């Protein structure tokens, strides 16, 4: 992976540590099972991660105590990095300033302003900036179609003690997105002639100038958009920790076992929001972000159910509602980040003498992202082959139904070791690649390692 992306991840890790947290506003693939099985955890990710995925999973436990520690890093790119760095290499503001150095024929300029038409001029400056302006406009048009760069480091400590779940689920999401005013891409600069200020628009395609008035400048000028930040790069982020107190209980019904569970969680974190000028390199997006931070604490409520029919006990159907009380975090400018309720359905089926499990999850709700206009609604599933207590092999697929840029995402995982200490590694890798600084990389990726201990 490119060094700039690695440096961004490192900076985000520092921010994560300073805020005692990690990961974002969507439904994150926390834990070794779900991360490697297409994100499926509502009906299968029990034990130490049940308090996050579905507290109803705590109603039945294979081990009396399970503890897991999981550091994680993830990233997602949406049509941004290459465009941003291309604009940074051109130095948009300096190129605009060069145009003002051109000397115009005063009579031609005034005549054009009064009677319409174009001003034809020749200048060595045009030879050096014409192609730059064409490239600037093309790069900005490419960004206006929707873009973002997200970094999602995380670290979780999950604890299950019989029917109770605790822990510190550290999560973060740092997202940069370029907001482009597509109506204001005109190369227009102010020019003074005979003590009167005019506005001259340069068309790099025809290589001609046209005199304009102030109203036209305000409505169409790229310089106006930059000065008034209608074209800018917005950096938003949150680093927070969920500290849950969860419980699950099983009810025997005529049709089967009904597990119910709930979680009260303290949510403490830090938000970030800062605007960056177009022309900032992707590696510098996180600079100065600590100057616009805000700490706050709130609480969240989760509830879940799990049903296993009498005649098919190997099948489990689950549903969880997270954050149904709409917890909010404050930004430094007085606005808020709201965590809207998230609803997810899941199913699992175990066979082959409890050695093979299939699981799937589906987001019923379309979840918000920190990238403007980007929604998340995942469908995913996978298989867990666990022939021995010391070995687990897992694989799966997941897909964001609201974002085609990521494509289908393969997932994988391997766990090995005795029950009292097991090492598990898992990852996710986008099926689609993007181009950045001459290199290919996945649109989405994550990797994590888990250290698990089980007792009794």
Domain extent listing, the chain:
3-80+147-180+231-455, 84-143+181-227
- Where does 79-221 show beta strands of DSSP type E? 148-151, 154-161, 164-179, 187-193, 196-203, 208-212
Query: Is there a contact between 119 and 189 (Cβ–Cβ < 8 Å)?
Result: no
pTM metric for this prediction: 0.82
Closest CA to 277 of 236, 238, 225: 225
**Numbers of helices and strands, H then E, in the chain:** 9, 24
Is the domain defined by 3-80+147-180+231-455 classed in CATH 3.40.50.720?
Answer: no
DSSP 8-state code for residue 332: T
Give dist(CA 114, CA 234) in Å, integer. Answer: 40
Q: Which residues pair with 447 in a beta bridge?
A: 73, 427
Give dist(CA 413, CA 385) in Å, integer. Answer: 10
Query: Hey, what's the torsion of the CAs at 374, 376, 379, 384, to 10 degrees?
Result: 120
Q: Which two tokens stand for residue 436?
A: 């950045």
Give dist(CA 78, CA 373) in Å, integer. Answer: 11
pLDDT, averaged per 10 consecutive residues of the chain (456 residues), comes to 39 35 57 93 94 96 95 87 82 84 66 59 72 90 78 94 96 88 90 76 85 90 92 89 97 94 96 83 69 91 96 94 94 89 96 95 89 86 95 96 87 95 95 72 91 94
Q: What angle do CA 251, 252, 253 make, to 5 degrees?
A: 110
Residue 42: its pLDDT value, please? 96
């Amino acid at each position: 992976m490119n060094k700039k992306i690695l440096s961004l991840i490192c900076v985000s890790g520092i921010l994560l540590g300073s805020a005692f947290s990690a990961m974002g506003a969507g439904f994150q693939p926390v834990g070794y099972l779900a991360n490697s099985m297409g994100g499926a955890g509502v009906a299968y990710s029990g034990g130490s991660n049940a308090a996050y995925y579905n507290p109803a999973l705590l109603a039945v436990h294979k081990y009396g105590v399970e503890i897991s520690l999981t550091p994680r890093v993830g990233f997602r790119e949406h049509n941004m990095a290459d465009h941003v760095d291309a604009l940074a290499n051109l130095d948009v503001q300096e190129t605009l300033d060069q145009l003002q150095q051109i000397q115009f024929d005063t009579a031609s300029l005034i005549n054009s302003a009064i009677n319409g038409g174009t001003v034809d001029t020749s200048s060595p400056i045009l030879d050096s900036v014409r192609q730059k302006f064409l490239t600037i406009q093309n790069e900005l048009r490419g960004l206006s179609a929707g873009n973002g760069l997200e970094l999602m480091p995380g670290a979780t400590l999950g604890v299950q003690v019989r029917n109770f779940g605790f822990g510190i689920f550290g999560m973060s999401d740092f997202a940069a997105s370029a907001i482009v005013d597509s109506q204001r891409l005109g190369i227009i600069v102010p020019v003074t002639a005979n003590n009167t200020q005019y506005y001259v628009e340069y068309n790099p395609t025809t290589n001609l100038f046209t005199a304009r008035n102030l109203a036209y400048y305000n409505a169409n000028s790229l310089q106006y958009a930059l000065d008034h930040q209608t074209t800018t790069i917005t950096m938003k982020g949150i680093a927070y920790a969920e500290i849950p107190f969860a419980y699950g209980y099983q009810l025997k019904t005529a049709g089967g076992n009904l597990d119910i569970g709930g979680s009260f969680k303290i949510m403490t974190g830090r938000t970030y929001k800062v605007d960056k000028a177009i022309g900032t390199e992707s590696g510098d997006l996180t600079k100065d972000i600590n100057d616009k931070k805000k700490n706050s604490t709130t609480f969240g409520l989760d509830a879940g159910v799990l049903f296993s029919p009498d005649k098919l006990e190997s099948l489990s159907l689950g549903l969880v509602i997270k954050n149904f009380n709409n917890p909010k975090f404050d930004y430094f400018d007085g606005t808020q980040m709201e965590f809207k309720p998230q609803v997810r359905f899941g199913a699992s089926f175990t066979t082959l003498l409890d050695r093979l499990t299939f699981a799937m999850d589906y987001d019923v709700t379309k979840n918000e992202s920190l990238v403007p206009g980007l929604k998340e609604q995942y469908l995913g599933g996978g298989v867990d082959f666990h022939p021995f207590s010391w070995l687990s092999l897992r694989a799966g697929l997941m897909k964001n139904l609201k974002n085609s840029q990521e494509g289908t995402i393969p997932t994988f995982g391997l766990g090995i070791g005795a029950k009292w200490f097991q090492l598990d590694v898992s990852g996710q890798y986008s099926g689609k690649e993007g181009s950045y600084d001459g290199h290919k990389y996945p649109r989405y990726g994550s990797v994590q390692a888990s250290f698990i201990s089980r007792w009794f």
